[in-house]
Amino acid sequence: MSVKLFYENRYMTEFDGTVISCTPDKKGWAVVLDQTAFYPEGGGQPCDHGVMQWGESQTAVTDVRERGGQVIHYCDSEIPEGTAVHGVIDWDRRFDMMQQHTGEHIFSGVVNSMFGYNNVGFHLSEKDNVVDFDGPLSKEDIKAIMDKCNETVWLNQPVTAEYPENVNELEYRSKKELTGAIRIVTAGSADICACCGTHTATTAQAGPIVALSSAAYKGGTRINILCGRRAVEYLKQRNDDCYDISHQLSVPVEKITEAVAVRMSEIDNLKYQLSAAKRQLMAVWAEAAQPVDGVCVVCREDLRSNEILMFTQLLAEKADTAAVYSSQQDANGKICIISTVKDTNKLGRHISATLGGKGGGKPGSYQGFVEKDTDRETLYRLIKEFE
Ligand SMILES: [Zn+2]
């Protein structure tokens, strides 16, 4: 059994140990030491990374697992058995995991005491700290939970881990039935939970605690939380975003939500006015268009699909068969055909066979795209030659 120094001192960043065994493995070299401060993956907490040094040599520790009481370090290089090594933990990574993990305890404990819901899922990674609860939580509920979590942070209460003898008499959270010695982690006044992970020494060190987003999930709620430095980094970035928007809109940062709503309303009005102006313009175009033998073809640039349809419908009022082609900047041209005398789907396929592209529609109306640029004369000829 490897001595687990991370349980004796959770803040141990460096340590000395001796190699008990080193065997080749598909993940590199599997190294077991007599003692280690590298935390192996467990309790939802990802493992530590770091390096091992001996003499002039060094190897990266890229994964750490526990198997039958042995802590196995997966390393890039072989280390001879009996070698005395110096281990260095990637402390930024470990402390981040400790902050996230402790924050998750506080958050889950507060949800449990305020709403009676259980934590039924936990995913912690370098990016995510996601917690699932078995009941619904509104936005207002989550704000109240955040307030309570951060009050617990400010109380600066100890976070302890013990193997109590009277564990059967204790009320504690646990996701599964446990046997043997049960490690009970107490996160201040917020939480008592069976857990094998590493945690900060006090609730204060896990703060601030921020609920980032929430969504209904399997009848309950999935919440993404950020704790400690992650929360601060996130808030710094969002603050920068708010000031950027404030600068762009030329309003104080406190007014950006109102200002965005005003701009969106202005954009909606402009879209409506533009659409009305385009309808008038198309009516003028349609008025000027001259059908030849019942066929009316017009080519224009950069019309949207709905505008092409609208324009073709206007032309169809004065011709048996109406077609509009619109070339598009950096994209295939779009085409619409409406006819009361021709099978528009077959006609569309005939045009596609000549110009490339594809499309479809309902009887009497075809919409699609063509790969090649075309002109009015070519389209007129293709339509006329199709019977
Ligand atoms: Zn824990």
- Whether residue 86 contacts residue 74, with contact meaning beta carbons closer than 8 Å, is answered with no
53 Cα to the center of ligand 1, angstroms: 30
Q: Give the pair of three-digit tokens for residue 121.
A: 């899922």
Other Cβ atoms closer than 10 A to 193: 22
34 Cα to the center of ligand 1, angstroms: 25
Length of the chain counted residue by residue: 387
27-57 per-position pLDDT tens digit = 999 999 999 999 999 888 999 999 999 999 9
Q: Give the pair of three-digit tokens for residue 185.
A: 């982690």
225 Cα to the center of ligand 1, angstroms: 15
Asked if omega into 208 is within 30° of 0 (cis), the reply is: yes
Q: Does position 176 have pLDDT exceeding 80, yes or no?
A: no
Q: Does position 387 have pLDDT exceeding 80, yes or no?
A: no
Q: For position 374, what pLDDT does the model report?
A: 87
- Whether residue 120 contacts residue 94, with contact meaning beta carbons closer than 8 Å, is answered with no
Q: Does position 76 have pLDDT exceeding 80, yes or no?
A: yes
Which residues, 6 or more positions from 72, have their beta carbon under 8 angstroms from its beta carbon?
A: 30, 31, 32, 40, 64, 65, 66
Q: For position 289, what pLDDT does the model report?
A: 92
Q: For position 331, what pLDDT does the model report?
A: 83
Q: How confident is the model at residue 249 (pLDDT cuts 50, 70, 90)?
A: very high
Could you give the C-alpha distances from 295 to 250, 282, 326, 352, in angstroms and in order? 53, 18, 17, 19
Q: For position 64, what pLDDT does the model report?
A: 98
Return residues with CB closer than 5 A to ligand 1 (ion): 101, 195, 197
- The overall average pLDDT reported for the chain is 94
Strand order in the sheet with 209-217: 119-124, 129-133, 220-227, 209-217
State the DSSP string of 292-360. BTTEEEEEEES--HHHHHHHHHHHHTS-SEEEEEEEETTEEEEEEEEESSS-HHHHHHHHHHHH--EEE
120-173 per-position pLDDT tens digit = 999 999 999 999 999 999 999 999 999 999 999 999 999 999 998 888 888 888
Over pLDDT 90: what percentage of the chain? 82
Q: For position 69, what pLDDT does the model report?
A: 85
The Cα 31–Cα 29 span in angstroms is: 6
Q: For position 286, what pLDDT does the model report?
A: 93
Query: Looking at the domain that runs over 289-385, which CATH code has it been given?
Result: 3.10.310.40
Domain range 95-236, its CATH number among 3.40.190.10, 3.30.980.10, 2.40.30.110, 2.130.10.10: 3.30.980.10
189 Cα to the center of ligand 1, angstroms: 15
Topology given in CATH for the domain delimited by 3-89: Elongation Factor Tu (Ef-tu); domain 3 (2.40.30)
The Cα 30–Cα 25 span in angstroms is: 6
Q: For position 165, what pLDDT does the model report?
A: 86
- Whether residue 100 contacts residue 230, with contact meaning beta carbons closer than 8 Å, is answered with yes
Boundaries of every domain in the chain: 3-89, 95-236, 289-385
Q: Does position 357 have pLDDT exceeding 90, yes or no?
A: no
- Whether residue 146 contacts residue 213, with contact meaning beta carbons closer than 8 Å, is answered with no
245 Cα to the center of ligand 1, angstroms: 39
Q: Which range has the worst mean pLDDT, 258-262, 336-340, 366-370?
A: 366-370
Q: How confident is the model at residue 343 (pLDDT cuts 50, 70, 90)?
A: very high
The Cα 338–Cα 289 span in angstroms is: 15
